[in-house]
Structure 1
Amino acid sequence: MNTRISSRRVAAGAATGAILLSLVYGGAAVADEIGPAAEQAPVSTDAPAAAVAQPAATDAPVEAPTQPTAEPTTGPTKQAPVEPARPAADPASAATPAPAEPEVATSQPIALADPDTTAPSIIVEVPPASPRGWYTGAVKITLAAGDPGNNLRGIVYSIDGGPEHWIVGPGGAATIETGGEHVFSAYAVDWADNRSAVATSAVNIDLAAPYVATFSQPQDSVYPLDFEVSLGYLCADDLSGVDSCYDEDRLEGMLDTSTVGEHTVDVMARDVAGNETVIPFRYSVVDDDITAPAITAVASGPHTNDEWFTGETRVEFQVHDTTEEGVSITYQVPGRWPTTVRDTRAATLIDTDGVFDITYYAEDAAGNRSEQQTITVRRDTVVPVIAHAAHDASGAPVGNGAVVAQNAEIEFGYECTDTTSGVAECSSEVQSGELLDTRDLGGHSVLLTSTDAAGNEVSVIFDYTVEEVVDPVDPGNGGEEPTDPIGGAPDQPGTAQPTPAVVTPARSTTSDDDRLASTGVEQVTPLGVLTAGMLAVGSALIAIGLRRRSAR
């Protein structure tokens, strides 16, 4: 019952809409066409799935929910055929009652459209090359594609069989920028995966100009006046090949040596692609004298070996052809401007430490120049530096000239450095990490020596004094607080200060003039010895006073 009422309401609503449209547009014909269609509108069901699941109970006519299989039994007009690809709704009539039994859904085969088997087409447009088939710059290739079914997907291209690149849509462009003989390939593809035939094009690009692979004479050659010499050359090109290679300045293959001065022969080369270049050959013509002057350099100064100088160093330059007029010597010390002396002899001083590569050459009046040569001068006038240190078991430093307790553990260490020639030798009577000898009372010393690669030597002495440890003495005054024999109050237990250590500056032995090494160590003076003696006497007097008071 609900299904029939719903169908009638839908049909009535559709008819009413048709009448209103006919009134608006001023014609009853529109209403006549829309009205029957409205009466044949699809009839909705509340539970089509249930109807499909149940079998038919009677032989009554069955309605198809997707597409009618027969004309309706009743209705004002006959329904038109439905397209196969578009399913139609149930054409139930408003006047036809729905069957009481459950409806069974039926289906009808739908005719499919013919598959797309037509391949797209492609056009590859390459700009014209030179008459010899070469390009001398980047080449831009235009691509266009079409598909009869308007189903084009895009264009795929590759260069020299490399990776494929996509252009989405009917057209685009690709550019080849590198030199070489290239093969460009492209094809079109539609959405049905139909592919056009592969279109290929040869693209030959030569970006580099030719060059002269070899000259028969060295560049910048020097020839005497009116000297007969020929010049040959060979041009080459790495891609398209040499088209022409010639010069216009020679007379029957001979160089012009009729005038003194600098000359140039221009060789013009052109390759098959059209690249052109000019390669110059340079040479000079001088007077009959073409022999360069010979020059030598010698360094002299104080030294201990053949590698390093240890004092002021003099470098002398000499031209051996002393009959040459107008000769000049040019030399340059690193860190200075070049110096030219118009003479057969010249000299310079090296007054600082370091390694110097001095360049020099000679030139005569005819312009003949010797090859530039180099003399290396090494100078080191500073002795090495010896650094030493000592510390006790607690890590407290023990300085040079310190007073230490007997059997104390004092660790010693040292290091030698040289900033110019480097340390060649570094030694000590006590090695780094070893303990100083504190078993015997009295003064002790450790000798350290170092020599650098230039032969500079230095010696340093580390002094220390070993004293006996004195135990504290009970004053024995019946519990009374002892007083300082000098008159002051006694120190509280644990607060007494130790006797100041006697610091003796290190002794240094160097060369014959007894110069000190650059280690910051000074020689012992008589005043220092006197001071140390007075301090020792004072300490002894204090100890004697304490013993006498305890005896009382």
Structure 2
Amino acid sequence: MRSTRLRSAALVVAAQLLSLAGPAASSSASLPGGLGDPGLRAGDTTPPQVLLAPDREPDGAAGWYTAPVSVTVSVTDDLPSGGGVASVAYELSGASTGSGTLPPSGGIVPVSREGATTVTVTATDAAGNAGSATAELRVDLRSPAVDLNGLSDDVLLRQGAVQPLMYACFDTGSGVAACDAPLARGDLLPTGVLGDFEVSVTARDIAGRVLTRTLRYLVSDRLHFASEAGLTGTPRVGGTLTMVPAIARERQLGSLPCQWRRDGFQGPPS
């Protein structure tokens, strides 16, 4: 009988203790599996760590990539029991633009446009701490270009002709690093000797891409015609015939003056 009264008294004391503890005691026991222990979140002042790693080393010169590149994002939190990483967001600026979200552990961010792109990733944990990382990726997808100011291969030049070599190099990606030729811009092509000749202009961009354009030309002392002289119109009494002059392939001559005859008599020049 006495032991029964002691057990009852112990139960009453335990009930009083639970009543004094109130709802906080019961709620703290149900936190695992949610956003973590509020007490741990309150003491969490360290932001998540964000790491950015390109999928490969730059394959061009001066830190440039010669093909699209992807960035692997890794996110860790020093106090996962406090709720861990709540959100991860990225933003692209520069040549490539855009934004988006990633899983709490990270993910892949592709960069495909030519030029310099800045990738910024920000991770925020359950306590509101934010950590970020930034990387710049430079992509060059095309070779440079060479402009010869209208000159084309197999151009014909008369012996002694005055023909300057005008050229320029362009690049829309990393930019032009060098534009080299045996002649300076504006120098005259050698035309004093008959024969076939060539001159090359080489462009190199900062990423290391190279393009060479070669101009081949013939120095001749004879005329080479692209088209012969002719007449247009219908021959009839009272009709009009129009002379079309011959066109020389020599760049300096262009259209040549022509003289025509009718019934053995010389007509006006055209």
Specify the alignment match of 2:91 in structure 1.
Answer: 158
Where does residue 262 of structure 2 map in the other structure? none
CA drift at 1:259 = 3.8
Shift in Å, 1:175: 1.2
The question of whether the paired residues in 2 share the 8 Å contact of 1:186 and 1:199 is answered with yes
Say yes or no: does 1:110 pair with 2:40. Answer: no
Shift of 1:278: 1.8
Letter in 2 for 1:189: T
Partner amino acid, structure 2, of 1:277: L
Alignment of 1:494-533 (within 5 A): none
Using CA pairs below 8 Å that are at least 6 residues apart, which structure has the higher relative contact order? 2
CA distance in 2, matches of 1:265, 1:291: 24
Amino acid at match of 2:6: T
**RMSD across aligned C-alpha pairs, in angstroms?**
4.3
Cα distance 1:294–1:144, how it changes in 2: closer, same or farther (>3 A)?
Answer: same
Asked if the contact 2:194/2:218 (under 8 Å) is kept, the reply is no
Of the structure 1 ranges 135-144 and 217-226, higher mean CA displacement relative to structure 2 is found in 217-226
The one of 127, 136, 144 equivalent to 2:66 is: 136
Task: From 78, 81, 88, give the equivalent of 1:148.
Answer: 78
Q: TM-score, normalised by structure 2?
A: 0.63
User: Compared with structure 1, are the counterparts of its residues 223 and 201 closer, same or farther at alpha carbon in structure 2 (3 Å cutoff)?
Assistant: same
Structure 2 counterpart of 1:170: 105
Go from structure 1 to structure 2 and tell me whether the alpha carbon gap of 1:225 and 1:73 turns closer, same or farther (over 3 Å shift): farther
The one-letter amino acid of 1:270's match is R
* Aligned-pair identity (%): 23
User: Take 1:271 and 1:109, find their aligned partners in 2: how far apart are those partners?
Assistant: 71
The answer to whether the 8 A contact 1:319-1:362 is kept is no
* 2:48 counterpart letter in structure 1: P
Residues 238 and 293 of structure 1, relative CA distance in 2, 3 Å threshold: closer
1:351-406 CA-to-partner distances (Å, cap 9, x unmatched) read xxxxxxxxxx6679xxx9869xxxxxxxxxxxxxxxxxxxxxxxxxxxxxxxxxxx
User: Which residue does 2:156 correspond to in 1?
Assistant: 222
* CA distance 1:163–1:292, shift in 2 (3 Å): closer
Q: Deviations over 1:291-326 (max 9, x none)?
A: 877724332278xxx9xxxxxxxx988677xxxxxx
Largest Rg, 1 or 2:
1
Distance 2:129 2:146 in 1: 49
The reply on whether 1:276 has 2:201 as its aligned counterpart is no
The amino acid across from 1:272 in the alignment is I
Q: Which residue of 2 aligns with 1:124?
A: 52
Q: Any unmatched runs of 5+ in structure 1? A: 1-71, 83-89, 92-104, 307-314, 321-360, 372-552
Contact 1:223 1:290 in 2 (8 A): no
Letter in 2 for 1:121: Q
SS at the partner of 1:269? strand
Taking the aligned partners of 2:64 and 2:121, their CA distance within structure 1 comes to 21
What is the number of equivalent residue pairs in this alignment? 221
* Residue aligned with 1:255, SS: coil
Q: How far has the Cα of 1:187 moved from its partner?
A: 1.5
What displacement does 1:172 show? 1.6
Change (3 A) 1:241 1:75: same
Residue identity in the other structure for 1:219: S
Q: Tell me how far 1:254 sits from its aligned partner.
A: 5.2
Q: Distance in 1 between matches of 2:205 and 2:157?
A: 32
CA distance in 2, matches of 1:201, 1:290: 60
Report the counterpart of residue 255 of structure 1 in structure 2.
189
